Structure 1
Amino acid sequence: MTSINLRTRSVLGKTLKQAMLAGALLAAAATAFAQTDTPVGTWQTIDDHTGQPKALVQISQDADGTLSGKVIKGLGPNDQLDRRCTACTDARKDQPILGMTIINAMRKDGDGWDGGQILDPENGKLYKCKMHVEDGGQKLVVRGYIGVSLLGRSQTWIRQN
């Protein structure tokens, strides 16, 4: 009877280890899925005029559950670290674009996020903003508009890992 108990313990121990490993893998997969179902992360923006990568924007969730985004790196060929928002008319006037918060107050709304604002540091203008993820969370469609969503433009940003 002792040999059966030792064999049973061995089998149960292996089964328990396999179950724990499977649980850890499922948790990792769920975390990865959750991250692709949200704009939270780092995104490469594209220049409207050249079609070339322009900047990296880090979108994060604030303590109140809203999303905000700031420029963490310039990618353009003429991008200088000391570029400033000379066209801004609010507290960001003449502040460095690098590190600047350009998206704020975005709230979950159905399959997307809405209700916030986005700043275009090139012209200093603030726009209402809405966004949603596409392509399994690898693309973020960001729409800036005035008044109604029809009066605006959209950009597609690419998730950076």
Structure 2
Amino acid sequence: MNGQGMVVRSGRRLGSIARGWMAIFVFCALVLGVSLQPASAATDEKLMGYWLSQDHDGVFLIQQCGDVVCGRLVGMRYDGTDVPRGHDGKVECNLMMLTGFRTMQDNARKMQGHILDPDTGHVYDAQIWNDGPDVLKLRGYLGLPLFGQTQTWTRYTGPGMGPMCKMP
């Protein structure tokens, strides 16, 4: 009987130790998860919305697309009624040009993804980040950011777009 009692007692003891470690593990996971989440979520939120391109000839809507951030061309400056078309002949209105942006591991302020050049069909690596409350920086490059170009976009607060993404 003592032998069985000892097994039960040591089993209970092992179970309570395991539960204690499990509680510590769950607590640590929650603390780490909560502390890491807001930094990237805050970065994402600042990037969301409408942005006017550097040359003031396009407006992009940057938004959450599943677990990544993306951007679509929603406004263009053009003459006449013919909507600009990309190299493939498709209209550029509502074209998804920024894709797959995720917070960078080595720099939580920036997001890394891809940008499409509709005139050539080439897709380039890109980084985006806020450089003030209403300023977005976009750097497109091929291979290394060092060999790229940075544009400064500003938050768009103008009137809505006309038919076929025509800017007012």
- TM-score grouping bracket, smaller chain normalisation: 0.5 to 0.7
Kindly indicate whether residue 97 of structure 2 is the aligned counterpart of residue 57 of structure 1. no
- Deviation, structure 1 residue 125: 2.0
Aligned to 2:136: 140
- The structure that is helix-richer by fraction is 2
- Deviation, structure 1 residue 46: 2.2
TM-score, length of structure 1 as denominator length: 0.64
For residues 106-139 of structure 1, give each alpha carbon's deviation from its aligned partner in whole angstroms, at most 9, with x where no partner exists. 001211111x11012233321101011012x211
Q: Give matches, 1:4-153, under 5 Å.
A: 38-47=46-55, 53-64=56-67, 66-76=68-78, 78=79, 82-86=83-87, 93-109=88-104, 110-114=108-112, 116-135=113-132, 137-153=133-149
CA RMSD of aligned residues (A): 2.1
- The structure that is strand-richer by fraction is 1
For residues 3-35 of structure 1, give each alpha carbon's deviation from its aligned partner in whole angstroms, at most 9, with x where no partner exists. xxxxxxxxxxxxxxxxxxxxxxxxxxxxxxx58
Residues 57 and 71 in structure 1, CA contact (< 8 A), matched pair in contact too: yes
TM-score, length of structure 2 as denominator length: 0.61
Identity in percent: 25
Computing the radius of gyration from Cα coordinates, the structure with the larger value is: 2
Q: How many residues align?
A: 113
